[in-house]
Amino acid sequence: ILNVEQSPQSLHVQEGDSTNFTCSFPSSNFYALHWYRWETAKSPEALFVMTLNGDEKKKGRISATLNTKEGYSYLYIKGSQPEDSATYLCASANAGNNRKLIWGLGTSLAVNP
């Protein structure tokens, strides 16, 4: 994998459902994996930055895992709420230039009340 790929592209769930998305990134020369939440008409906001294989991070109902050897990360949302509706972006940095993030296209989540 040369680019950062996210799936699914979009997702519609009912309030209370739990859901998860995938981010695939280049595993060679890995440095860090970022997750951001981007609400319509706002700017992206950081959720997690992960660097170590096996990392698991949690913020409220949202959590993320990281597998650097196979090049993927999962973002989980437990008990989705309408306010979770947003686009979730991931971005990876490699050790060659760890300040240049390569961004995925995002997963657009809509939570229906």
* Residue 65, beta-bridge partner list: 56, 74
Q: Write down the least CB distance from residue 104 to another protein, Å.
A: 6
**Contact criterion met (CB below 8 Å) for 88 and 44:** no
Q: Is 113 helix (H, G, I), strand (E, B) or coil?
A: coil
| 64 near another protein (CB under 8 A) | no
| Contact indicator for 71, 50 with CB cutoff of 8 Å | no
Residue number with CB closer to another protein (71 or 104): 104
Site for another protein in 79-98 (CB under 8 A): 89, 91
Residues lying near another protein in the complex (CB under 8 A): 4, 34, 36, 42-46, 49, 89, 91, 99-101, 103-106
